[in-house]
Structure 1
Amino acid sequence: MGRGVLLTANLPQLQNLIKRDPAAYKEEFLQQYNHYNSIRQLFAISPDDNAEHFRELVTFIAQVAVCYPKETADFASHLSSLVLEHYGALSPDTRKSLLHNLVILRNKNVISSIDLLKTLFPLLPRTTSSSLRAFIRKTILSDIRTANLRTKNHKLNRAVQAMLFTMVERGMDADVLGDKGKLRTSTAAPANGEDAMWAVILTKQLWQKQTWSDAKSVSIVALGCFHPVIKVQSASLHFFLGSDDDKADSDDEPDQASIISPPSLRLLTCRRKWTIKALHHRREINKKTRSADKKLQKQLNAAKKACPQTILLLPHSHTRYDKRFSLDHKILVMQLLSRVMGSHKLSVLPFYTYILKYLAYHQLRVPAILVALAQSVHDLTPPDALTPVVKKLAAEFVHPGVGSEVIAAGINAIREVCRRQPWAMEEDLLGDLVAYRKSRDKAVTAAARGLLQLYREVNPGMLKRRERGKDASIGMSHGRQPLPFGHSVDAAVDIEGLSLLEDHLKKLREEETGEMEEDNEAGWENWDVETDASESDSEGWNDVSSDGEDLEVSDSEDEKEAASARAKDKAEEIDEADKDTQAQDNRTSTLATTKILTPADFALLNDLRIKAAERAVENCGGSKAKRKLAALEASKKAAAGDGSADAFISENDILGPRKKAKADYAERIASIEKGREGREKYGSLKGKKKKESPSSSTNREKTRNKPIMMILQSGAVRGKKKASLREKQRKLRAHIERSKKAHH
């Protein structure tokens, strides 16, 4: 009796004893467990009664549940049902205690990850406590990361992704409200989009940590792009644009390895792979017939076009609800659509009619709109659809009634559009724009010169004769003409720069062969040591008679051979320099027909092309070689994934070089205070530091040391010239009186 009362009153002591010997204290545990069941039934009716004692019992049972698995088989389901069914009636301490105990059961492998996540996912949109919400999110992410630490846990990932899909799809049928009326409250519960928002946030964080990198996780966020709640759409769009707006939702910074370029390609490629894989899997399971093969081929063709068509639904829906969206959200959609159009060379002609009304110099965030416009253009975009856009840009941005920064931005935007589709420009308009190169503003001059240089390369025939330049004129005289719209160059017969890789590999093989020959020669060293020494000693040297003729030994032939070898090496160096100047030779390499090129080979090929371009810049220093080097370096950065934005243009490319803005009052005061740091007192230090006796000079002393040219225009000197005779007499008498006093 005494022992039972003591253990009942001291649960931590009983917990310690049970962990040491579970069988000996089974009766005491069953007594506490029965007590827990009785209190649980009362607690479900009135959660405020005996809440503290109930939390102690739950913590005790969670700690020792692993010792009695049969008796506590329903314990985890009890806690889960209490949290999900009575969440609003529970106190914050009770909620936190129940969730902590569920996590303890998961850590002890009493319940599985799926059972825990099924309880935690519905609580994310319901909880209002920031600390509890952070705990739930951290628990979900850490549990999924731990499960995928060594190998991918596909069973868990599929179950979690199915739950996230359900969370996103739950409110897809609601009406689109837009984000202009953010203060309006929605009466429908699913319309707030909390479930979908948390699904998108968790998927993004798992993608950033590279826990998930498959197509299904991308499809969850892709579905969020069409959610009726705007904040869900915005979070999904930011994911594909690679922006950092979701840093506030994460506890730590994303890894550098999580940045994949470009984001729009993630959406299209991953969704396409997932759809095609599902179709092939279904074909393997179903009965194989000829009609099924035809049906599969149609579905595959449709799947290849499904992803671009899905993204093309974005402007349709946003045109329908255009007045309900804010400008920032419209720009997000423009940016995503333009990147998809530019990367996959899609022609969405309504996009240019939609963006036309936003092309005005007074439009808010107009640089971002101009960037979206430029990125959507490619060489397959019809010039007829772009010509009105270029005219609108010239009419709105390039005229004397606007500032120089506006003119520079307009010309730069036109240049970026025409760089991708040169046939969108008209000859008369091009002449007017190029004439701005004589402007006094540096940014306008640079923009106009950039447009001029572009058309010198792509289509010099649209320029006037005096504006074409030397290289373009020579090219036109040789009959070099640009390809019309819709025409392409001849079929590719080789990979650009592949001959550089072939020469590099050949050089490596020769070096390896040379090392092997050196090893073989080393094996022939001292070969005559094993010969018969006695025989060689007995014979000695043999005298050879000259038969009366003196032999003259001359090395002239050796010198000739050495000179010819040096000349040959010099010629090879010259040939190599010529190759470097051309950045690559025009030989057709056969390396691709004899070797399967790996990603490492292509990476080495890019490095060799960059080195050849650098040598070409050093040798000739032409602008064409410099642009080629810049293009190769940019493509290397984009392929390496150093930044998804490197593959696209930025707002700085549109705005161009700008003047330093005039400092305001606060900046001037800050600069003054910074300059006063480390100084004794305000004022000149000349008289205090550089004299034997510290003193300061007077204004009269400073006037004597001034240059004569500064004094000539002073008021005193000019007043002497204009003084009357009476004033001069008065000054002279005053001077005489002062002189007399000084002498006396």
Structure 2
Amino acid sequence: MGRQPHTSRGVLLTANIPQLQNLIKRDPAAYKEEFLQQWNHYDSIRRIFELKPDDDGQRFRELVGFISQVATCYPKETAEFPSQLSTMLLEKYAVLSPDTRKTLVSNLVLLRNKDVITSIELLKSLFPLLPRTTSSTLRAFIRKTILSDIRTANLRTKNHKLNRTVQVMLFGMVERGMDAEMVGDKGKLRNGNAGEASKERGEEAIWAITLTKELWKKGIWNDAKTVSIVALGCFHPVVKVQSASIHFFLGSEDENEEDSENEDKGPDVKNLRHKMTVTKTTRSKLKNLEKKTKAANKKRAEKKNHATPNFPALQLLHDPQTFGEKLYESLNRYDKRLSLDHKILIMQLLSRVMGSHKLCVLGFYTYIVKYLQYHQLRVTSILVSLAQSVHDLTPPDVLTPVITKLAHEFVHPGVGSEVIAAGLNSIREVCRRQPWCMEADLLGDLIEYRKSRDKGVVTASRSLLQLYREVNPGMLKKRERGKAASMGLASGSEPRPFGHGQIAAAGIDGLELLEDELERLRAEDGIEPGDEADDDEAAWDGWDVESDSSEDSDSEGWMDVDDDDDVEDIVVSDSDDEKPKKPVKGDDEKEKNGDEETDPVEPSEPAPPRLSTLGTTKILTPADFALLNELKIKAATKEAENGGGTSAKRKLAALEAARKSMPQDESFISEGDILGPRKKTKADYAERMESIQKGREGREKFGSNKGKKTKEAPSSSTNREKARNKPIMMILASGTVRNKKKASLREKQMKLRAHIERAKKAHH
């Protein structure tokens, strides 16, 4: 055989790119010439590829991957490489094949991981691709890359430069479509050329809102600039963008929004229905589809009912008054273009902003009156929006027509009991926030419904009566005020007028309970009153709070307060123009010189509250506050059990809810507060199984307790004993009774003779 011709090293390496890549990483300088050959090859193919993107796509993708791997070895030669990939993606995206798009995106991410490009350069290339890509796989990859890159940059400390740059980009994506005309989502306006153009404008903005919401949800961004981006989306002309932005503040999930990968999406009902159309339909498949559909609907309802408002985002709003006025303007201006569901979304957000920041958007109450009808769709959500928009600074004269409309539409004998209960509960929630909006004559008519036969109506009417016994008993008749309210009026106490704030707190609520408990614990442990300094320092162990040692508690800034000082001499008030109270019976005995000793308080006068000095003599630790909460719950429970009334029960419920770390704000209510207590609904599967398991406690498996506790010798009951306890209708259908009816005279005589013979034998 002849000798084979010698093959040069360059030809071998040109044909085997993975081998060349491995060798370059080991010794970049020795293989620089081979790299330059591949680079020139890449450059020539790139120029051709820009003119004809369909030519030699496989070879182009191989060279792009090769250069991305070795770009760190030759930084000067590949300086323009990242910008070339980015330019090709942004300018030629529509004509590139899906494989080429994926290759270019993945290699840009690879260059970012190798620190060839910065995060800002990568994100500037990826953000414009989100609304343009049609591949769900590539879109999910881009979305995950953006979120992970920003999260990594803010992992140890906040990367303010990157965050500001990205926020400006997202703000611009939302702002670019703001000058368009509002199209709406009602009727024919959703179709046609206007709808298609609106959809194209909204794709970029919806992705900006979606990414902003994800970064807020993951705790990466939590500043006011983030809230400003979503707040701008609430006024976008595309309804889909508005809906996603409003759901962010409401704390609920948008149906049009894509779920994150880590979230449980539940059963794919759409996929199951599609399979039913292309495969054979069987009874088991139909049953499975029905089960999956029911589970999906239940999960969607749970998400909707358990949504909690985004309290931090509402508090971080810039200029809430302007934000609320613009929301009302959008609601009123495009009333005929928007669907009812979207208008209710805007109502809910506007009402929560009004209640949270105590805004006065008076036109909202005039607008909402036309929807206050019992046959209105989703009227419960509208009533919730009305109630939570009211606060103590809302003018009463604006709310009086609303209360009158509610009473005329919902509370009269011509409607059902559930409608009356909903109307009374709505009136109560509005009056709880602004009691002066109610008229005395109307109040007298409404509380007469406490004599109704329906439980929900009675509860709603009594709650309204109890509310005015607490806030303004003077509007009630004397026989309806109750004992506590009548005694309060007799002592001269008056309700707070409109616009007056609450009385300033004189100390920490319930602090005297903690003082008594600490004294009891010290007495049990045998600790003297001056030996608790070391205990105060040890009480901070395990809490992530920095504090000074208890030894420094007597340093500058603190002063000793004697327990013998006259606490009554200290006057705490936040009013600049206090006026003297009108003289009441017994006031001449109380008005004396402050330096002189006062006479004992008359039995008819309320005793002054006890002021604890624990807050001025001891630094309270988190453990002390935790103990204080438990003591307050225990005291409220005892008060409720001893006949404290509905106010004590309400206080106990609020304390228990606060212990469970639930966000409590009186300005936010749910539809359950409007509907009130209803008849017990049918238990679901989980509740039935829980009841079954509860009944099996203390019982042997597959065993019965019947006959084992009442008899001396444990045994089961006989069939004759069981027959005695059977219902009469079951006995009538039994074979024994039917045979007796069909028996002949001869059979009856034989049976009677046999019975007599057995009796004689038993007697002998």
Matched, 1:427 2:445: no
Matched, 1:252 2:272: no
**Number of the residue aligned with 1:287:** none
Q: Is the 8 A contact 1:171 1:191 kept in 2?
A: no
Q: 1:626: which partner in 2? A: 649
Q: Which of residues 362, 371, 381 in structure 1 aligns to 2:384?
A: 371
Residue 92 of structure 2 is matched in structure 1 by 86
Please tell me the residue identity of whatever aligns with 2:651. Answer: K
Find the counterpart in structure 1 of residue 239 from structure 2: 230
Bigger Cα displacement from structure 2, 314-323 vs 140-149:
314-323
* Distance in 2 of aligned mates of 1:125 and 1:600: 52
Structure 1 residues 310 and 191: CA distance shift in structure 2, 3 A:
farther
Residues 468-617 of structure 1: pairs in structure 2 closer than 5 A: 468-488=481-501, 490-500=503-513, 514=528, 586-589=609-612, 606-617=629-640
Deviation at 1:512, TM superposition (A): 10
- CA displacement 1:391-421 (0-9 Å, x = unmatched): 1111111122221111111111111111111
Structure 2 residue corresponding to 1:417, chosen from 427, 430, 434: 430
Query: 2:190 aligns to what SS in structure 1?
Result: coil
Q: Relative to structure 2, which stretch is displaced further, 412-421 or 424-433?
A: 424-433
Residues 1:32 and 2:35 are matched in the alignment: no
1:241 pairs, out of 213, 229, 250, with 250
Offset at 1:385?
1.0
User: Is the partner of 1:252 in helix, strand or coil?
Assistant: coil
Q: How has the CA–CA distance of structure 1 residues 208 and 363 changed in structure 2, closer, same or farther, with 3 Å as cutoff?
A: same
* Alpha carbons of structure 1 residues 401 and 50: separation in structure 2 relative to 1, 3 Å: same
Q: Deviations over 1:480-514 (max 9, x none)?
A: 33233234455544443344456667778897964
Structure 1 residues 381, 595: CA separation in 2 closer, same or farther (over 3 Å shift)?
farther
In structure 2, the residue matched to 1:266 is 313
Q: Which amino acid aligns with 2:343?
A: K
Where do residues 126-137 of structure 1 align in structure 2 (5 Å cutoff)?
126-137=132-143
Q: CA separation in 1, counterparts of 2:720 and 2:142?
A: 68
2:512–2:611 Cα contact (<8 Å) kept:
yes
Aligned equivalents of 2:83 and 2:664: distance in 1? 46
Is 1:184 aligned to residue 192 of structure 2? yes
The answer to whether structure 1 residue 49 and structure 2 residue 55 are counterparts is yes
Quick one: distance in 1 between partners of 2:739 and 2:374?
Answer: 55
- Residue of structure 2 equivalent to 1:195: 204
1:499 and 1:588 in contact (8 A); partners too: yes
Q: Is the 8 A contact 1:127 1:133 kept in 2?
A: yes
Partner-residue secondary structure (3-state), 1:245: coil
Q: How far apart in 2 are the matches of 1:394 and 1:697? A: 56
Q: Secondary structure at the match of 1:322?
A: coil
Q: CA 1:174 to 1:52, structure 2 compared with 1: closer, same or farther past 3 Å?
A: same
Q: Where does residue 341 of structure 2 map in the other structure? A: 328
- Alignment correspondent of 1:391: 404
Q: Is 1:382–2:392 an aligned residue pair?
A: no
For the Cα contact (< 8 Å) 2:252–2:308, is it kept in 1?
A: no
Judge conservation of contact 1:201–1:249 (CA < 8 Å) in 2: no
The reply to whether residue 345 of structure 1 matches residue 358 of structure 2 is yes
Question: Given the superposition, is the C-alpha separation of residues 601 and 377 from structure 1 closer, same or farther in structure 2, using an over 3 Å criterion?
Answer: farther
Tell me, in whole angstroms, the C-alpha distance in 2 between the residues paired with 1:118 and 1:470: 71
Q: Which moved more, 1:32-41 or 1:438-447?
A: 438-447
**Following TM superposition, by how much is the alpha carbon of 1:319 offset from its aligned partner in structure 2, in angstroms?**
0.9
Cα distance in 2 for partners of 1:644, 1:53 equals 62
2 CA distance for matches of 1:586 and 1:437?
A: 35
Q: Is the 8 A contact 1:170 1:190 kept in 2?
A: no
Query: What is the rounded CA distance, in whole Å, between the counterparts of 1:21 and 1:347 in structure 2?
Result: 73
More helix by share: 1
1:172 aligns with 2:178: yes
Query: Partner letter of residue 419 of structure 1?
Result: R
Alpha-carbon distance in 2 for matches of 1:610, 1:319: 46
TM-score, L = length of structure 1: 0.72
- The DSSP-based 3-state class of the residue aligned with 2:192 is coil
**Residue 78 of structure 2 is aligned with which of 69, 72, 75?**
72
Cα distance, 1:594 vs. partner?
6.9
Give the Å deviation of 1:382: 1.5
- Letter paired with 1:648: F
How big is the shift at 1:251? 2.2
Question: Does residue 649 in structure 1 map to residue 669 in structure 2?
Answer: yes
**Pick aligned residue for 2:69 from 58, 63, 69:** 63
| Structure 1 pair 311–517 and aligned structure 2 pair: CA distance change class (3 A) | closer
Please tell me the residue identity of whatever aligns with 1:631. A
> CA, structure 1 residues 663+189, in 2 after alignment: closer, same or farther (shift >3 Å)?
closer
Q: Against the structure 1 CA distance between its residues 607 and 160, is the aligned structure 2 distance closer, same or farther, given a 3 Å change threshold?
A: farther
Looking at structure 1, the residues matched to 327 and 505 of structure 2 have their Cα atoms a distance apart, in angstroms, of 36
Alignment check: 8 A CA contact 1:264 1:340 kept: no
Query: Contact between 1:614 and 1:629, CA under 8 Å: does it hold in 2?
Result: yes
Shift of 1:471: 2.4
The 10-residue stretch of structure 1 (620-629 or 206-215) with the greater mean CA deviation from structure 2:
620-629
Shift of residue 40, structure 1, vs aligned partner: 0.2
CA 1:359–1:702 in 2, change beyond 3 Å: closer, same or farther? farther
Provide Cα deviations, 1:201-220, integer angstroms capped at 9, x if missing partner. 00000000001111111111
- Secondary structure, aligned partner of 2:329: helix
| Code of the aligned partner of 1:586 | P
Equivalent in the alignment of 1:720:
none
Give the Å deviation of 1:425: 1.6
Q: Does 1:402 align with 2:412?
A: no
The residue aligned with 2:473 is 460
- Verify the 8 A CA contact 1:242 1:644 in the aligned structure 2: no
Q: Are 2:424 and 2:460, in contact at CA under 8 Å, matched by a contact in 1?
A: yes
Q: CA RMSD in A?
A: 4.0
CA contact (8 A) 1:262 1:645 kept: no
Cα distance in structure 1, aligned partners of 2:360 and 2:177: 32
Aligned match of 1:354 in 338, 356, 367?
367
| Residue 61 of structure 1, CA deviation | 0.8
Identity of aligned residues (%): 67
What secondary structure, in the 3-state scheme, does the structure 1 residue paired with 2:53 have? coil
Question: Structure 1 residue 428: deviation in Å?
Answer: 2.1
Q: 1:626 to 1:188 in 2, by over 3 A?
A: closer
Q: Which moved more, 1:490-499 or 1:507-516?
A: 507-516
Q: Contact 1:380/1:486 (CA < 8 Å) preserved in 2?
A: yes
CA distance in 2, matches of 1:655, 1:630: 19
Structure 2 CA distance for partners of 1:516 and 1:319, relative to 1, 3 Å = closer
Unpaired segments of 5 or more residues in structure 2? 1-6, 265-302, 535-606, 685-701, 703-717, 724-729, 754-764
* Distance verdict in 2 for CA 1:620–1:408, change over 3 Å: closer
Give CA-to-partner distance per residue, 1:70-128, whole Å, 9 cap, x none.
Answer: 11111111100110010001001100011011111111111111110000001111111
Q: 1:215: which partner in 2?
A: 224
C-alpha separation in 1, matches of 2:511 and 2:533:
32
Q: Residues of 2 paired with 1:110 and 1:737: CA distance?
A: 107
What is the SS of the residue equivalent to 1:141? Answer: helix
Separation in 1 of the partners of 2:114 and 2:247?
38
**Alpha-carbon spacing, 1:35–1:451, altered in 2? closer, same or farther (3 Å):** same
| Cα distance in 1 for residues equivalent to 2:207 and 2:647 | 50
Number of residue pairs matched by the alignment: 593
Contact 1:193 1:232 in 2 (8 A): yes
Change (3 A) 1:103 1:23: same
- Cα pair distance change 1:604/1:308, threshold 3 Å: farther
Q: Distance in 2 between matches of 1:189 and 1:455?
A: 51
